[in-house]
Structure 1
Amino acid sequence: MFRWAIIFAVIALIASFLGFGGVAGLSKDFAVIFLVVAVILFVIGFLSRGK
């Protein structure tokens, strides 16, 4: 999940430099969603591993 978040963040950066605002905004949204999901899964996995 972290890999997908980084990929979409890089796509958003490149698209914003090239002037594609719509693609950059959508890629940023996907990057944030993937990052939040990855952090939630990481925390759940960390907490469940301790039992």
Structure 2
Amino acid sequence: MHLGFRATHECDRRVEDGPRGGPPREEAMMVLGVLSLAMLRSWTAL
């Protein structure tokens, strides 16, 4: 649970940094999408 929170927090920081020369916003959104998909799959697996 804590690990997942950390990952989403990293994505939030990435999205904020996007326009200012950090990683592109699209990349951060893609990572976030993959993360949420993985979380959904783990929930359904339970």
TM-score relative to the length of structure 1? 0.57
Distance across 2 between alignment mates of 1:2 and 1:37: 10
Per-residue deviation at 1:44?
A: 0.7
Structure 1 runs of 4+ aligned residues shifted over 3 Å read: none
Which is higher, the Rg of structure 1 or of structure 2? 1
Identity %: 3
Select the structure with the greater relative contact order (CA < 8 A; seq sep ≥ 6): 1
> In 2, distance between residues paired with 1:31 and 1:37?
10
Q: What is the total number of aligned residue pairs between the two structures?
A: 40
Gaps of 5+ in 1: 46-51
